[in-house]
A and B are shown apart, each in its own frame.
Chain A
Amino acid sequence: MTTETMEPGISTLTVGSRTLSSRLIVGTGKYADFNVMRQALDASGAHAITVAVRRERLYNDQGESLLDHIDLDRYTILPNTAGCFEADDAIRVARLGRELLEQLGNPGASWVKLEVLADKKTLLPDPVGTLEACRELVADGFEVLCYTSDDPVMASRLKAAGATSVMPAGSPIGSGQGLLNRNNIAIILETLKDGDPDYPVIVDAGVGCASDVTIAMETGADGVLLNTGIAHAKDPVMMAHAMRHACSSGRQSCLSGRIPRKLYATASSPWEGTISYIPGE
């Protein structure tokens, strides 16, 4: 057990049938090389990591495989449906991902990070396709961790459709803009957790730096999922450390309860006994 996990407020995160030791979920894409990726994953403290499903490169030099660089006994693998623009394709990819993780004996086999995207430029989710695929995959026995926009109505629809976790975007994928509409994230949290406080809401996408993670966690998110913010940092390994601390800090800050915002100052030192002139007195 690390010192981190013994700190107050730092608890596990249960998502469906899996309990994670970290509230930070990180991706495995966009790294300069597998060695940096492996170090960054380690530094992030993540228990769950995301992967994509793609064609084998039969006609090219196969090079190194991601699977040669991931400790399958350490990480729960969360396969995504990234690159799918139709519900049917996302369902196919989800089933292929499950098949791969069953072959590998990884517990992530029951999970899918569902993405049904609208277009390549914005990578915004297609709400209709997402809802359709979510229903189908839930019926097929998947635990669906569902990427969506920060629209509270859509988030409620996805939960009602059986999503194991709703994962609203802070801002567009890979944009590094952080949480553009913190109010919407707060409304999603309040709505989805009403009468169901343990329902996991994970902010997914848009994280640019550590403070974005902290803000998401301070808002009350159960976890944060990110990839580019670490992988494309100048020093991905150091940024992974920062993201880990930011996640813990935000969680603790949320649980400990912030002070109310006030328009005017409140002195931290007592007025009583001061020897100086005080204006207005």
Chain B
Amino acid sequence: MNVVINGQHSAVPDGITVATLLELNDLAERACAVEINRTLVPKRDHDSRVIEDGDAIELVTLVGGG
């Protein structure tokens, strides 16, 4: 299925969870916050939240800032 991850179109396996998406992107062990369709998906829901076709996903972390 097709989704948008961090503003870029991307194909991901059907029916995967947020947790699986993070694993596929080598982010499972890192601090990473997830938003789907402009709504936060807290870490406690990563295993259960299933990604759907057309979802707009943001995967964010902390960077230097003032």
Binding site for B on A (CB under 8 A): 27-31, 37, 50-56, 58-59, 65-67, 77, 79-80, 82, 92, 95-97, 99-100, 102-104, 173-174, 205, 225-228
Contacts and interface: CB of A to CB of B under 8 A. Distances in A.
What 9 A-B pairs have minimum CB-CB distances, sorted nearest first? A52-B65, A227-B66, A27-B66, A28-B64, A99-B33, A29-B64, A96-B33, A55-B6, A29-B65
Nearest to B41: A99
Interface residues of B, number: 25
15 contacts: A52-B64, A54-B62, A55-B6, A55-B7, A56-B27, A58-B8, A58-B25, A67-B61, A80-B65, A96-B33, A99-B34, A99-B42, A100-B61, A100-B62, A227-B66
B26 to A, nearest CB: 8
Contacts of B31: 67, 100, 103-104
Contact of A96 (B5, B6, B35, B64): B35
A266 B13 CA distance: 82
A55 B59 contact: yes
A65 B59 CA distance: 15
A138 to B, nearest CB: 18
A27 B64 CA distance: 7
A223 to B, nearest CB: 15
B66 A55 contact: no
A95 B42 CA distance: 10
Given A92-B35, A99-B33, A100-B31, A52 B62 contact: yes
A58 B59 contact: yes
A56 B32 contact: yes
Given A59-B8, A99-B43, A104-B31, A54 B66 contact: no
A228 B64 CA distance: 12
Nearest to B62: A51
Contact of A173 (B40, B43, B64, B66): B66
Interface string B3-47: 001111000000000000000010100111111001010110000
A36 to B, nearest CB: 11
B3 to A, nearest CB: 12
A92 B5 contact: no
A71 to B, nearest CB: 14
Given A56-B60, A58-B59, A100-B33, A28 B25 contact: no
